[in-house]
Amino acid sequence: MKTKTVLPKEQHHNFRNEVINLLKKYAGRLDASEMLALCAHLTGQMIALQDQRKLTPAEAMELVGKNIEKGNQEAVADHGLRGLAERN
């Protein structure tokens, strides 16, 4: 699969912000590693539910991997996530 880069739309930003707010809500109540494990588990479930005619499991894993890399780059640049790590 040739992964294409798509600029996030407003709905993408809104979804991401809601997830970040949920993580912030549980910061301090759940350990950061627990939240990471839960998000990874949910990601696995989402991969399993993909229409394999549109996205194979291997393609889904590539998509996830590329987005993990991008997310790491953004976290290093600090896009509103610093408070999560500091609370845990």
* Backbone CA torsion sign across 74, 77, 82, 88: positive
Mean pLDDT by 10 residues, the chain (88 residues): 80 94 94 95 95 93 94 78 56
Note the pLDDT of residue 6. 85
The pTM for the full model equals: 0.76
* Backbone CA torsion sign across 78, 80, 86, 88: negative
Note the pLDDT of residue 63. 94
Note the pLDDT of residue 82. 60
Closest-CA residue to 57 (of 42, 41, 70, 44): 44
Note the pLDDT of residue 16. 92
Note the pLDDT of residue 80. 58
